[in-house]
Structure 1
């Protein structure tokens, strides 16, 4: 039974804004052959027995659950309209609602009701209303809330908006737009794209090769130019890449992974090697247009003698698992325990089950503020926008020319699957969740031909390694490429005429007024917009300009120019140094040596998950399930931490220290050489400044139901007022 025809033109494009309906499988519960054909092996007595069983069930259940009146009323009150509309994902509904709101605003301009305009479209094949609607939409520079709109830049975006509008029309009227009008609109969209100067250039589908992935991960782990609120977020940013790369999955399906979707097992090597830790992860969430698709499971065996632990998903996943004490076996709390495990002689696997209470907990969760800093949220997942921004920023720090996106890894997997002799076309389509090969050929097959075609034509050995490097995202890596504006460049935007006019307007409002706050917000946003545009312009022009400089200097016999090393980032802290060192450890010569190398990396990852990276909020968090916060140790006498500790306890009610007792407690959990200690134990200028800090950074982050505890006294407190009273009586902090 064929699926319903997709309302879009490209019905086979499962990576467009919407994907076609899946065909019903052979195991459909309403199988036609099974219903119509009787099996020749069925005996008459079997039919009689079946009839008796049906009669018995009718007698048993008929009318017992609900009386006949229940079903009569149900038929009379049944709402068919609930089943007329198609099902869409939450993201698709946002697009539909936004388009419908845009149509409503356009109808207000015309002075007509939106539904009336829809009905006029259904009764006519004229495109004049639609032409002017899309022309009006492209001319909108400010949204309904007064915010500046990004605007449409590409013709493909206009085409997607037309597809969305057709679904909005169908949702409002219950019918599809006339096919003749649809054909006319193709020319309308082409004319509008030309009129508004929309680009026809598609987004580059460059692949992130494995060598580029390693550089991306190395930068993510080691850089201090990009700060994460909590160390676990940095680890999750790497784990996301390591799970996305082999699956070639859509990024959102990786972000929706829960602990219940992960299965680990100690597996016997059929070729006689040491036992292997096998990861199986199931992608339960994929594109859900017109129903949930079948879940796919990907197995990843451990590469025991892995030349690079940076490309080892096992150490990062196990680091997260041990950080949350997620194994169901209570004694399995350290990676060193894994080497002591064996498999039963009559079996091939030893499952390593995870705790049942974590089954529905997301692995990729964001960090939220609490009283003393940051902690991992219980139920708020990392969004695609968040992970995409992280990956893009790391790509800039790495020195890539073009923006790095998660789909670079999906493109790479698709092309590698296509070239591999071990993966069939059907298996490639299954892994990518494509109905057929059309989406791969249209969207994933690299538009830069990744083959040495000239060598092939001449019968020579292709220089395939060189070609792959030239077609990957990493071909443009340069550590000299600017990643941020210099102070002079950033200050130059203050001379922009628009900024000057907005600053003059700001001075005309009374400080603190609503008009002042709104004008200041617009000024701040405009400055940020100009900074982004200037930075992108500098980056776009840098490649050619730097190449010309390098050529001229070399031809003049000078060589490459020596650039001043300007590093605005801070130094690595001890936990990060340990992490980088453990992941860069050389390959061991023995199995036992490799186990130690792997276990050290897992322990370093687990420890780093607990580190806070913010400027003023750096405190390790305890593992999930442990009692209370990390204990505060007694610092060496006369050390800076010891002096700070002594200064946050008052001897009289009138004494007012100038150090935050919560920040001092964080400092006591760090080593003396940690650069964060000095920031945490510094004295505020006045006790009033300390009070503002305490209210803004600590009290305001308390949520309903949070456990409250003084981290320096190890005293549990009942509520916020209890905390404020304790802060005043014991630590002299007024709040």
Structure 2
């Protein structure tokens, strides 16, 4: 680029061509990328396929937050509309640029059906606000990066209750049971069972796609109500349901939820006193949170949400006991402590559990197998030489052999030696 900036057009000439190297003439800017046997290869001499480009544009549109699919022809729609409204291009030149036979093609397929003329100002003899009308009629006004791209687990599970899918599953299972009772399988029935299995898969995918489209379509109205309620309340965490979700699903301690609630606010009054009050509450929330021990940053993939034990139903007239008064978090910690004390091959790490600086997801994590817990202990806690679970009763273990013996005898971590 530095050499290019030093070039100039010589005297008496009006251009200086910059020819490409012959060996670079057949290289594509948007080239084909293929994955074979887990290895990604880039082939610059082949163009990107139309299917790949279409899928990438659709994904880019969803990431940007458009409610509809983005495809290549949308760029022609926008460019043609701007060129037609500029008044700088004649109809003949427009047809040449757009490669149209005549102007009827643009009128029938490209001219927007949404009128962007400020009719009120026009009828009243005022100067039309063209910038405002263009802003309220352009496609970008629907962009919202918060628009969901994937269904949640609850939404996916709701599809299983659809009558159409239930009926298809029943037909498949009925034929499968009939074939199991037959000693010799019929090829015709096997082919029919294969078609029924494919029908179940197609039905499920079609219902999931319809539900995803409906969720994306209804997002604007539902999210608008949420945004309005939050702005009127003056905070992004306005209801108790949001607070409980942050505590349970995102594993936020109550102090952090309060901190976010006080910091993520906006003015609801024009008075200076209200602004000072909002500032003082945020400062106080920061001061209170300074004493909270967070622990180190999370490592690896994002931890899964902790499955808290559901509370039993308490009758209104029944006396409130200690067991019923416990929160879901306290009951989960009690269950984890009981598991650590009594399990022959525990799946929960006693060191992480007894460390208050760790997140709840880390303290209550259950490993799928005992050997996974042993591997975790070797990598993370073998050099600590102090038992967080036993506290002062165990003391410090100066020798590694004593620390391993304690882990084996007191906490039943096998194969730690």
Q: When the two structures are superposed, what TM-score results if normalisation uses the length of structure 1? A: 0.28
- More RCO (CA 8 Å, sep 6+): 1
Q: Greater helix percent: which structure?
A: 2
Q: When the two structures are superposed, what TM-score results if normalisation uses the length of structure 2? A: 0.48
